[in-house]
Amino acid sequence: MSPTDRPLVVGVAGSLRDDSVTRQAVDRALETAAERGARTRLVDLREYDLPPVDPDAEPPADAERLSAAFAEADAIVLGTPMYNGSYASPLKTAIDHSDPDGFDGAPVGLVSVAAGQFPRRALDHLRSVAAHMGARVLPDEVAVAESHAVGDALPDDAADRLDSLAERLVAEASAPPAEERRPSPSAGG
């Protein structure tokens, strides 16, 4: 299999923090995807200049670069810390600057990290937005609670769920499009 035949899984960490547990979780998913044969790419939002969207202004150059990353992706991992009951504004801004076509039909896995308990609301909000963008949001999602207690290694249960999410993304990205999987109607009916 040539490198370009392998699916590309793009991960986005919606945290700008240097010691981000969100980035650690997205990195884990990308590492597992690579082990399962995918090409991977981390979109590190610290490397993008993405101001809040202003419909009257020219889009920033990094908006085109970000849209290109999504357009090239065969599958996407969206990771976010939970801030005030929702997902992080850097990720929202990145999605707002992106061309929706980059998400259209792409399998998307969701990851949320919270300092407290299960970050359900952030996952619900992110699921709604990704589905609105046309993504095929996987039913599996990963939540990492009590992130303040995470050191250099994610908890085993979270790491296992991230591995499963990555495996599912690679499988979905490698599968032929739905129209190619449909059986052809039999002749003579």
> 68-127 pLDDT, tens per residue?
999 999 999 999 998 888 999 999 999 999 999 999 999 999 999 887 766 778 899 999
pLDDT band at 187 (very low <50, low <70, confident <90, very high): very low
Q: Is the pLDDT of residue 170 over 70?
A: yes
State the pLDDT at residue 181: 38
| R_g of the chain computed on alpha carbons | 17
- Cβ 27 vs Cβ 87: under 8 Å: no
- Cβ 100 vs Cβ 36: under 8 Å: no
What is the C-alpha separation between 31 and 13, in angstroms, rounded?
Answer: 14
What is the C-alpha separation between 137 and 70, in angstroms, rounded?
Answer: 15
Q: Is the pLDDT of residue 67 over 90?
A: yes
State the pLDDT at residue 85: 86
Burial class from Cβ neighbours inside 10 Å (0-12, 13-18, 19+) for residue 157 reads exposed
Domain range summary for the chain, segments of one domain joined by +? 3-181
- Cβ 76 vs Cβ 70: under 8 Å: yes
pTM assigned to the model: 0.88
> At the topology level of CATH, where does 3-181 sit?
Rossmann fold (3.40.50)
State the pLDDT at residue 103: 95
Nearest to 8, CA basis, from 77, 63, 62: 77
- Angle at alpha carbon of residue 164, lines to 152 and 132, rounded to 5°: 100
* Mean pLDDT of all residues belonging to the chain: 88
State the pLDDT at residue 149: 62
State the pLDDT at residue 4: 63
